[in-house]
Chains A and B, each alone.
Chain A
Amino acid sequence: MYNIVKKMIQHGTVTVEYPKKNTKSTYITGIPAFDYLKCTRCGKCISACPTGAVVLVDKDGEKEKVPAVNTDECIFCKFCEEACSNQAVRLSNEFELAQKSRDLLRAAPLYIRDEEINGTDYEIIGKKLNDKVGKKFGRSLNIREVDAGSCNGCDYEIQALNGPYNDIERFGIHFVASPRHADLLLVTGCVSRNMEEALVKTYNATPSPKLVVAVGACACSGGLFKDSYAGRNGIDTILPVDVYIPGCPPRPQALIYGILKAIGRL
């Protein structure tokens, strides 16, 4: 007991001050940023990208099409950075990327195949609910995490939210054991074929009003596992999604940012 008290005094409070204070340091890996003055439009970054996240788009004030990145598909592999000989692409330190719709994450317009339009009317209902939800869950929130086919990287980062450093309980946010106790579903993975039914059942078991947050590149767009016979291209082909948190995996602060955004505190 003496040793335990000693340790407690030795370390004091270790919780980081995010989001009250910004965490900005040089080694954080964030979204690729383009320097269009250096860019020669050679297209090497586009062919180097393994997930097809780098695309050509019309940018205001530029005569020809320029490369830009679809954040929901980016897996932060740095291939574009290495392919560019002029150093026009650099991975920035920007990790606060969560957005309330997938279009906001994309440089190119979203193209969904016919077979995958699932619950577009949900999307509208979800948006209406969202405003009410912010008021209702303003003070406390219960989260149920569902892994629907991730590589467990995202899950370890979600686990880290409960650790002493990020301590998400200080926001009144708790992880619960059953979807019936939950207000928010935190879904990771590309929705594998074998998890589809379980995910829908979990969604139906969660009482309304409810929020769905997609975590990681796989959940946002399928990521590297896009177009597989054993999976789908992201959570929004199955469920209406309220907030998308891109990253592979997103760091805990990015998750905090996304969750707070979902309940309207940011």
Chain B
Amino acid sequence: MVSEAIFDTIKKLLSTHVQESRLINDNEIYFCISSSTVKEDCINVYNNIECVLVNLFANDTTPIDNKLTIYYTFAIRSSNTLFTLYSKLESDGSAKVDSIALEVPAASLYEREIHDMYGINFEGCPDSRELVHHGNFPLNVYPLRRDFKANTRLPFQQRELEFSTITGKGVFEVPVGPVHAGIIEPGHFRFSVAGEPIINLEAKLYYVHRGLEKLCENQHYMKVLLFSERISGDETFTNSLAFCHAIEKINGITYIPERAAYSRVIFAELERICGHLGDISGLCVDTAYIFPSGQFGMMRRWIQLLNEQLTGSRFLRNTNKPGGLRRDFIRNNDKIILECISKLEKEFKDTVSIIKNSGMFIDRVEHTGILENSIAVDLNAVGPAGRASGVKTDVRKDFPYAAYSKLKFNVPEHNNCDVNCRMNVKIEEVMESINIIRQSLGKMPEEGPVSVDIGDLKPYSYGFGLTESPRGENIHFVMTGENNTIFRYKVRTPSFCNWPALCHAVNTNTLTDFPLINKSFNLSYAGNDL
């Protein structure tokens, strides 16, 4: 087993620091280390093993051991293993730990988030401004602590928002948002501009913070499933799938009926096609090229209509549940799906050849919004944005789930790092998805159940669920409580990783190209803010 070899390697590397270690759920390794050496150990592992920091979060485990726990999760993508270093901290006001943000840049936002939600101080942190609370939140109130009630009504305070400012001759600031000119979600952008080119962009998010993680605490897992479907509207299926995977892993369900596994693949790919068609349509709108935008919009509607015919929901809501699917949605519908994707394939190829032969369109997208490979690696950019910058990662290949290990497909990759590359990745992925759906329909067994009973949840167990959403790698951490409830639900969506990458990609581009670059990433605000 590969994971066991890695387990031994890390154990040797950390030697005396490890207080407790375990390998669970096939590929998840957990090491308990002391809070005084956690920084040293993280950097030691990060430098000596080919891995990336994919999650960093805290958990108030007061009911269990009267401590706060902080988890550093790294992924070894080449060998399908997740390993987590965790450390126990005092749960009173003095909780503090050394910051790793200077050595591991991807950690910076996670640390700020934990500080706002738990009040853990990160010493030596390069950026200690508020992230979630926006200055209207009372000081020293930490919503994810156990003693904070989810329905507390807090008074409003007025503290000024802080932005990183750049001063100099001829430099001026352009504030945009939170209510934007188009039909999109709210977020505030502060551009520092010297003439036309942008020299710095700071995105202030968390305007749609709804307290999702807190609301999930102590709720029955079927209700949390509904929350997972509403993390981000257009990623409904993949988010709920990640949650279901975590629950299935925790309960030791290793076998899902084949019909359910293939159905899940089909729905996940339909969602990807739907998302990508919307993105490409948006790119055409932002270059004022209305005809293909209408075409892609029309194709998107075909897929949404198909979704509705299959499941009754245009966003694939109410389809998933831990243990399989709610009903057998694909039965007797093979023909409709095949007809729809064949029609789509032909129309899509025609329209793509029209936009690729348009010089004016290609002129706008080429060499625009370059996200350099080194920055993408440092910030752990994922999904089409990462793959267009040479970060070769795809959860469907690295951590195969549902029936992906039985299917043949390519992961499109490009290396020019611009808007054109991101668009091409998405175009090729749509073609791959059509191919995957055809294969799944062919391989699916004719008869059989679509769900298994998962029984009662094991109390105080934990696990990760990973899926590849249209935007990229999705990681959900679930820890169960007593009586089928969820103790802690930590969601990290691809948007969280890619927002800082977007801020780097716009540098040196003109202000007018920003909508185009933003659309090529098409990140979810709700998926980031939770």
Contacts and interface: CB of A to CB of B under 8 A. Distances in A.
A231 interface: yes
A229 B207 contact: no
Given A175-B183, A193-B209, A78 B318 contact: yes
A7 B227 CA distance: 41
Contact of B181 (A4, A8, A177, A229): A177
A214 interface: no
B186 interface: yes
Interface in B292-330: 294-295, 297-298, 300-301, 304, 308-309, 312-315, 317-318, 326
A71 interface: no
Contacts of B181: 177-178
Interface residues of A, number: 63
A3 B354 contact: yes
Interface stretch (A60-68, A133-141, A153-161): A153-161
A202 interface: yes
Nearest to A202: B179
B211 A151 contact: no
B484 to A, nearest CB: 14
Interface in B143-200: 143, 148-154, 156, 178-179, 181-186
A204 interface: no
A189 to B, nearest CB: 7
Contact of A79 (B185, B222, B298, B312): B222
Interface string A111-146: 000010000000000000000000000000000111
Nearest to B318: A78
A165 B150 CA distance: 42
B351 interface: yes
B178 A159 contact: no
B208 A147 contact: yes
A253 B230 CA distance: 21
A194 B134 contact: yes
A231 B298 contact: no
Contact of A91 (B179, B222, B298, B312): B312
Contact of A11 (B152, B207, B233, B298): B298
Interface stretch (A35-43, A96-104, A220-228, A238-246): A220-228
Q: Which of A7, A14, A175 has the most CB of B within 10 A?
A: A7
A76 interface: yes
Contacts of A160: 297, 301, 304
B215 interface: yes
Contacts of A82: 326
A201 to B, nearest CB: 8
What does DSSP make chain B's interface, helix, strand, loop or mixed? loop
B425 interface: no
A179 B179 contact: yes
Nearest to A178: B181
B363 interface: no
Contacts, number: 174
B526 A198 contact: no
A57 interface: no
Contacts of A32: none
Interface residues of B, number: 65
Given A147-B185, A155-B185, A156-B233, A230 B298 contact: no
Interface string B204-233: 001111111011000000110011001111
A120 to B, nearest CB: 19
Interface in A4-59: 4, 7-8, 11, 14, 27-29, 50
A192 interface: yes
A29 B214 CA distance: 30
B524 interface: yes
Contacts of B525: 147, 152
Contacts of A197: 136
A239 to B, nearest CB: 14
A115 B149 CA distance: 18
A155 B211 contact: no
A7 B529 CA distance: 41
Contact of A159 (B183, B223, B318): B183
A199 to B, nearest CB: 8
A4 B233 contact: no
Contacts of A155: 183-185, 233
A150 B233 contact: yes
A219 interface: no
A249 interface: yes
Nearest to B274: A156
Nearest to A223: B230
Given A7-B295, A163-B297, A164-B294, A50 B210 contact: no
B234 interface: yes
B149 to A, nearest CB: 8
Given A4-B354, A156-B233, A194-B136, A229 B178 contact: no
Given A152-B526, A164-B301, 7 more contacts: A27-B309, A50-B222, A147-B184, A147-B185, A194-B208, A228-B150, A229-B150
17 contacts: A7-B351, A29-B308, A76-B313, A91-B312, A149-B207, A151-B230, A154-B233, A155-B183, A175-B183, A177-B182, A189-B208, A193-B134, A195-B207, A195-B208, A224-B227, A228-B150, A230-B211
> Which are the 7 A-B pairs with shortest beta-carbon distances?
A153-B233, A230-B211, A177-B181, A163-B297, A227-B151, A228-B211, A29-B312
Interface of B: 134, 136-137, 143, 148-154, 156, 178-179, 181-186, 206-212, 214-215, 222-223, 226-227, 230-234, 236, 278, 291, 294-295, 297-298, 300-301, 304, 308-309, 312-315, 317-318, 326, 350-351, 353-354, 524-526, 529
Interface of A: 3-4, 7-8, 11, 14, 27-29, 50, 75-79, 82, 91, 115, 144-160, 162-165, 175, 177-179, 189-190, 192-198, 202, 224-225, 227-231, 248-249, 251
